[in-house]
Amino acid sequence: MYSLRRQRDGVGDSGTMSTALWVEDNDVKFEYHARPRVGVAMRVGSLTARSYQYQDYWQTTIITEIIEERENYVKFRTGNSIYEWWTPE
């Protein structure tokens, strides 16, 4: 289980998916069960559709800075937000 929350308002998502996305050679690349790192966007949530009533995942823009990092926790900055990503210990 992974969790992702935007610090300023608490929005985000949790689920079994934590995927890093980036563009390389004009193709979108994916890394599954990924930790946040500079140069990628993070997508956290459900691998399968939940329902029309709820979102399936939350995706950030590209990570520009890692602010804090521990074994199961990463605090990072994107172009306009600060996020916290974690897994249960």
DSSP secondary structure letters along 57-72: EEE---EEEEEEEETT
pLDDT, one tens digit per residue, over 67-79 is 999 999 999 999 9
The confidence score (pLDDT) of residue 43 equals 96
* pTM reported for the whole predicted model: 0.90
pLDDT, one tens digit per residue, over 7-53 is 999 999 999 999 999 999 999 999 999 999 999 999 999 876 655 55
The answer to whether 29 and 22 are in contact (CB under 8 A) is yes
The confidence score (pLDDT) of residue 50 equals 56
